[in-house]
Amino acid sequence: MNATNEMIRGLLEESDMTAALANVSACINQSYEGLNWAGFYLVRHNELVLGPFQGRPACTHIPFEKGVCGLTYRTKQPQLVDDVLAVKDHIACDCASRSELCVPVILNDQVIAEIDLDAPVKAYFNETMKKEMLQAAEDIASAFRQHSWNLSV
């Protein structure tokens, strides 16, 4: 396990979901120099709702049928996008974003949240980053179980 994932695991010992995810987003943002957005979308009320993040103001509600985040929700698979301008229904919260990595957090075979990362350059993300964020997603799902976090706020 790399240092970022070890730090994330430690931050997830916090029992308050908002506090833990806020620190995890800060950790990810500092670990990957060059990001312009790092944060979470939480599944609430039949859509993706903005959670803790680092970066410029973002879209607060994303329908399951729209954008890279919606595709991640529907397929339950990570999406590594080298050029967001090539994605027909990409939702541009920050017009500077050029690449994106979105990873589902899955609990009991349901997507409950997503890690969403953006960078202002094409092809910023790679398979190693995807693997690290998949591990983070597993650790976040474990924290949901351990702390009995609830998304129905």
pTM of the model: 0.94
CA neighbor of 118 nearest in space, from 57, 43, 49, 47? 57
C-alpha to C-alpha distance for 57 and 47, rounded to whole angstroms: 18
pLDDT at residue 86, as a whole number: 75
Per the structure block, which two tokens stand in for 107?
């609990």
Q: What residue numbers bound the domain in which 143 lies?
A: 3-147
CA neighbor of 32 nearest in space, from 153, 138, 129? 129
Please report whether residue 153 resides in a domain: no
C-alpha to C-alpha distance for 127 and 113, rounded to whole angstroms: 21
Please report whether residue 152 resides in a domain: no
pLDDT at residue 61, as a whole number: 95
Provide the CA 87 distance to its chain's centre, in angstroms.
18
**Structural domain count, the chain:** 1
**Average pLDDT per 10 consecutive residues for the chain, totaling 153 residues:** 94 98 98 95 96 93 94 97 78 77 97 97 97 98 96 76
pLDDT at residue 1, as a whole number: 76
Q: Determine how β-strand 99-107 pairs with β-strand 47-55.
A: unpaired
pLDDT at residue 122, as a whole number: 95
Please report whether residue 12 resides in a domain: yes
Please report whether residue 120 resides in a domain: yes
pLDDT at residue 94, as a whole number: 66
Please report whether residue 95 resides in a domain: yes
